[in-house]
A and B are shown apart, each in its own frame.
Chain A
Amino acid sequence: MNSEKVIFAFFIVLALTLNFGFFLGGMDNAAHHNIYELFAAIVISLVSTILKVGDRTHLGAVFLATSLVADLQLIAAAVVWGFTAHVIGEALQGHALATVISLSGGALLANIISVVLLVAETMMVRR
């Protein structure tokens, strides 16, 4: 029972699930998408990125890349949301809402790849 591996896998899977949870729902209904969930997804994604840095293998490099992509997309989504809500001053709807959802969808794909790689790595090391 390797606690480091547990923590590592925990954060990666948690990032994926939070991201998926935020993404799920209609693209035209802001009530389906909880801002707290986006916040949690960003935080957990950042933490899992830091956990992935420092692995010098090829697999580790791809892991890090997917994590960075997910971070980038989620932060972009948060920025668009914040911009719409504060700078423009209107509630999230229509075009802006769709943008936020699509960006989080992109991050979701990156997280899926990350988890697939995690599963593949686990299968390689059958213990």
Chain B
Amino acid sequence: MQNLIFVLFRRLRLPLITLIIVYAVSIIGFVLIPGIDDQGNPWKMSFFHAFYFVSFMGTTIGFGEIPYAFTDAQRFWALLTMYATVVAWLYGVGVLLSVFQDKAFLRSLKTHAFNRRIKNIREPFYIICGYGDTGSQLTHALASAGILSVVIDSNEDRINELEADDFLVPPISLCADVSLSEVLENAGVTHPWCLGIITLANDDTVNLTVAVIAELLNPDLRLISQAETPEAEANILSFGANEVINPFETFASRLALALKSPGLYCLYDWMTSPSGMKMREPPVPKAGKWIICGFGRFGRTLYDHLDDEGISLRVIEQDREIRDLPSGSIIGRPTEALALTRAGIEEASGIIAATNEDANNLSIIMTAEEINPSIFCIARENQSKNAHLFQSANLDMLMQRGTVISNTIFAFIKTPMLGDFLRIVSRFKNDKANELVSRIIGVVYDDTPELWEICINEKDAPALFEVVKKQQILVADILCGVAIAECDKSKHSIALALFLKRGKGNVLLPEKNRIIRENDRFLMCGTKEAHQQMLHVVNNINLLESVLSGEDLPAGWLFRKLRENKKAKKNLT
């Protein structure tokens, strides 16, 4: 802050000195020039009166000629000094305004304000580096969940966009280069309330730099990074306990999953999609021959994953210089029917438009659909400004880089246990996956399943924590919600316990008659209402006891005492 004041004063030096000199000369003039009072006697202005007159003349207020009307000599001097003082003031004000409009000065002001705001944060927050497509989707998702985010991007236009956007919890933003450790430090990497840093820059080297800086400044901080090349991914994973998301890998592996095991694919899709949407049947692609148009990073990853599943593939690529082009690839323009026909589009079951030009991708799909109307279409959307076009193209699956990354990250943030759960589930066979899917449907019907964690400790579930210490509670007991208290005796579950973490051990799908212990962590699945009900039950001791005993127990001390006496009397007789 002192820097800013010094800069301001340095610039104002000349204007201020000018002002003082002009004032001094004017005052002296008025003191020396004789005036005449109302009686006609000569009268000399004192310094006090001169200062008063020059003050209101210079600031253009102009009360009048005090205390007596001026002589012509005085008026002559007043004429000269009038212009001089007003111009001196305007010059000073002009320099002041230009200092405040100076870009460098403004940037220092903004940075200073930003640093102060970060220091004063007293709630958990995430740092997001990079505000492109992915960044903005993630920020919106976090804001609607009520979590504060700190956003940094080096592009001024994007930050302006953020400031114009509407958020439930307005994020704190700064336009700065994220690969400088000073910027990250000011953004709160070492802040006690920082929950994690998420780096989503388009350039993998920037992501790597951020990861290194974060690891050095605060090794315990959770880091989630985006990476587009396997080298960068391996690099960032090699130090610290970071999580890296490669959007092409994620999408390609999901697609392979969809072809191999639709049940698992359903699970993945539900668990990482944003909550609040109606559950939809995810489209199931058919096995058979698939055509991949474009052999860039996306095309390459798709080829690797689908080839591992044994799907028969044909690649169409325009550039014949690309390395590692698989044998049998067609060199040609995939937007034209000729190349598509040579690749065998009439018998293909699916086509993937994976080039990095949106117009080409759309053209490929349209051409393909003309030749083979029942083909399964997947296209890659590169820029979010074309989202509307892709919606109207009636695709079966759409790969939006931003959405894939943002949804995955948000799911991992909201429920950290999800990562472990999905890792275990990924080894399921298809029938086991289908069974799990049907169990989940049995609990949520057609809403999107909501996932939440519950930890049996004093902070998160005080009532349950207390009761668990005294008596034996089974998993089934807390799964039924408050229906009991409303005299509905049928104990049907409203939620499903997916995963239990007890110390170092994990239990998948804990059975209904498992005993709950202190400090257990559960991953639950159910509807939004189920979530709310469960929160009520584990926090409110009265409600909990009603649910457990099946009857409505009194809450106040008096009636409790009376009831105890009645019970004691009954036990005696």
Contacts and interface: CB of A to CB of B under 8 A. Distances in A.
Interface of A: 35-36, 39-40, 43, 46-47, 50-51, 53-54, 56, 78, 82, 85-86
A56 B47 CA distance: 36
B20 A46 contact: yes
A26 to B, nearest CB: 22
B16 A50 contact: yes
| Residue of B6, B13, B48 ringed by the most chain A CB atoms within 10 A | B48
A53 B20 contact: no
A82 to B, nearest CB: 4
B46 A86 contact: yes
B106 interface: no
A40 B48 CA distance: 14
A39 B24 contact: yes
Contact of A53 (B13, B27, B31, B47): B13
Contacts of A85: 46, 48
B562 interface: no
Contacts of A47: 17, 20-21
B9 interface: yes
Given A54-B6, A54-B13, 7 more contacts: A36-B28, A36-B31, A39-B47, A43-B20, A43-B21, A50-B13, A86-B48
Nearest to A79: B48
Nearest to A42: B24
B47 A51 contact: no
30 contacts: A35-B47, A36-B28, A36-B31, A39-B24, A39-B27, A39-B28, A39-B47, A40-B24, A43-B20, A43-B21, A43-B24, A46-B20, A47-B17, A47-B21, A50-B13, A50-B16, A50-B17, A50-B20, A51-B13, A53-B6, A54-B9, A54-B10, A54-B13, A78-B47, A82-B46, A82-B48, A85-B46, A85-B48, A86-B48, A86-B49
B382 to A, nearest CB: 50
A17 to B, nearest CB: 17
Contacts of B10: 53-54
B28 to A, nearest CB: 7
Contacts of A51: 13, 17
A42 B24 CA distance: 9
Contacts of A39: 24, 27-28, 31, 47
A118 B324 CA distance: 76
Contacts of B6: 53-54, 56
A108 to B, nearest CB: 20
A47 B9 CA distance: 13
A85 B49 CA distance: 11
Contacts of A56: 6
A116 B21 CA distance: 26
Interface string B26-51: 01100100000000000000111100
A43 B27 CA distance: 11
A-B complex: 6 closest residue pairs judged by Cβ atoms? A43-B24, A82-B48, A54-B10, A53-B9, A50-B16, A46-B20
Nearest to B2: A56
Contacts of B24: 39-40, 43
Contacts of B46: 82, 85-86
A126 B24 CA distance: 36
B393 to A, nearest CB: 62
Nearest to B27: A39
Interface in B385-434: none
A51 to B, nearest CB: 7
A35 B31 CA distance: 11
B54 to A, nearest CB: 12
Interface in B81-117: none
Interface in B1-28: 6, 9-10, 13, 16-17, 20-21, 24, 27-28
A86 B49 CA distance: 9
B448 to A, nearest CB: 60
B284 to A, nearest CB: 70
A36 B30 CA distance: 12
A46 B16 CA distance: 9
Nearest to B23: A43
Contacts of A46: 20
A40 B32 CA distance: 14
Contacts of A36: 28, 31
Nearest to B16: A50
A82 B50 CA distance: 11
A86 B67 CA distance: 13
Contacts of B21: 43, 47
A40 B20 CA distance: 11
A91 B15 CA distance: 37
A85 B9 CA distance: 35
B105 to A, nearest CB: 15
A53 B11 CA distance: 11
Nearest to B3: A56
A53 B46 CA distance: 31
Contacts of B48: 82, 85-86
A51 B12 CA distance: 10
Contacts of B13: 50-51, 53-54
B29 to A, nearest CB: 12
B27 to A, nearest CB: 7
A120 B540 CA distance: 76
A37 B49 CA distance: 17
Contacts of B49: 86
